[in-house]
């Protein structure tokens, strides 16, 4: 299992009351033919110039998001006894993967205004460019529900461990069906529901080895990929036939 370790990095930072101190020890994820998921371990600390005013008022939120895409959601209805696609809607921005973890329930450490402005929770991460009507909102909620069932969207409240109001850590699982692209890790520090500091970093996720070769060939040279697939299928069939013939002798 591939694991990223975010390590403490106490370096020179601009002078503010409280800041996130955190780093990334491994800067990419490789998807091989045997890739069956991964795990991200994030940990860090809160740097202060003076004692905190109230340790119980501190909030830590960690989000991991994959490349965004346009998604068409279709609704099925029962017509003449069978289920058919009856209507559809396009959602402009939908992360291929999204996880949000926090040390307490989000509504206790984050105001709705800050959530909407920073697009932290699942409801604001998935959106349309134009204002949504109630009908379109139903499609958004359906997409959220389906992707949560497939572990592509994760809401992990009270999942971040916060020790003595200073040290924090969280583990987020990644599914095996990740797509290639640049993933973003964002850590928010809140007090009284307001965001007071943010740390952001990018994590490239890409295929390597034979998987990368066939993926690139299929998308850039589809004709050659088709001929190669046919040749492999013919060769496999001939080998199976030859092996069967030897077994009958």
pLDDT, tens digit, for every residue of 47-105? 887 776 666 688 999 999 999 988 888 877 666 666 666 777 888 889 999 999 999 99
In the predicted structure, residue 247 carries a pLDDT above the cut 90: no
Report the half-sphere exposure of 83 (CA within 13 A, side-chain side). Answer: 3
pLDDT digits (tens, 9 = 90+) for 209-230: 555 545 554 555 566 656 666 6
| Mean pLDDT across 15-27 | 63
What pLDDT is attached to residue 97? 94
Higher pLDDT, 150 or 8: 150
Q: Tell me what the pLDDT averaged over the chain comes to.
A: 76
pLDDT the model gives residue 7: 39
Q: What is the pLDDT of residue 118?
A: 93
Q: What is the pLDDT of residue 11?
A: 40
Mean pLDDT comparison of 3-7, 58-62, 179-183, 237-241, highest-scoring range: 58-62
Alpha carbons 30 and 34: distance in angstroms, whole number: 11
178 confidence band (pLDDT: 50, 70, 90): confident
**String of b and e for 62-100 (b: at least 16 CB within 10 Å)?**
bbbbbebeebebeeeeeeeeeeeeeeebebeebbbbbbb
For residue 132, the model assigns a pLDDT of: 55
DSSP H helices, the chain, are: 106-109, 112-118, 122-125, 134-149, 210-220, 222-248
- Higher pLDDT among residues 53 and 9, named by residue: 53
What lies within 8 Å, CB to CB, of 140 at 6+ separation is 73, 91, 126, 127, 128, 132
Q: What is the mean pLDDT of residues 230-244?
A: 67
Q: What is the pLDDT of residue 205?
A: 76
Return the higher-pLDDT residue of 86 and 189. 189
**Per-residue pLDDT at 98:** 94
Please give the C-alpha separations between residue 200 and each of 23, 100, 203, 204, 209, in angstroms, as whole numbers: 10, 14, 10, 14, 29
Torsions phi, psi for 216 (to 5 deg): -65, -45
Within 83-133, residue ranges assigned H as helices are 106-109, 112-118, 122-125
pLDDT of residue 134: 62
The residue to which tokens 């909620």 are assigned: 141
pLDDT greater than 80 at residue 22: no
DSSP 166: T
Where are the strands (E) in the chain, listed by range?
2-5, 18-21, 29-31, 38-48, 58-65, 68-79, 82-95, 98-102, 153-156, 161-163, 167-174, 181-191, 194-207
Q: Which residues neighbour 235 within 8 Å (Cβ) at sequence distance 6 or greater? A: none
pTM for the predicted model, two decimal places: 0.71
Calculate what percentage of the chain has a pLDDT beyond 70.
61
Which range of 37-41, 51-55, 200-204, 243-247 scores highest in mean pLDDT? It is 200-204
- In this prediction, residues 183-191 reach a mean pLDDT of 91
Which residues lie across from 85 on neighbouring strands? 76
Beta bridge partners, 189, equal 60, 197
């Amino acid at each position: 299992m591939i694991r990223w370790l975010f390590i403490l990095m106490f370096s020179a930072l601009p002078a503010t009351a409280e800041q996130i101190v955190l780093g990334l020890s491994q800067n990419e994820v490789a998807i091989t033919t045997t890739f069956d998921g991964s795990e991200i371990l994030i940990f860090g600390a809160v740097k202060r110039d003076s004692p905190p005013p109230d340790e119980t008022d501190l909030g830590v939120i960690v989000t991991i998001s994959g490349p965004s895409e346009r998604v068409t959601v279709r609704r099925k209805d029962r017509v003449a006894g069978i289920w058919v696609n009856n209507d559809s809607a396009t959602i402009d921005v939908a992360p291929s993967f999204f996880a949000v973890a926090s040390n307490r329930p989000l509504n206790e450490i984050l105001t709705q205004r800050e959530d909407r402005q920073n697009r932290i929770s699942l409801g604001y991460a998935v959106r349309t460019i134009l204002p949504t009507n109630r009908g379109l909102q139903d499609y958004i909620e359906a997409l959220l529900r389906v992707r949560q069932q497939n572990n592509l969207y994760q809401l992990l409240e009270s999942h971040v461990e916060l020790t003595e109001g200073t040290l924090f850590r969280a583990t987020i699982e990644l599914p095996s069906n990740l797509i290639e692209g640049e993933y973003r890790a964002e850590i928010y520090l809140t007090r009284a529901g307001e965001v007071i500091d943010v740390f952001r970093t990018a994590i490239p996720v890409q295929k390597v080895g034979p998987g990368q070769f066939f993926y690139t060939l299929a998308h850039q040279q589809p004709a050659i990929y088709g001929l190669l697939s046919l040749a492999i299928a013919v060769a496999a069939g001939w080998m199976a036939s030859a092996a069967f013939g030897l077994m009958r002798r």
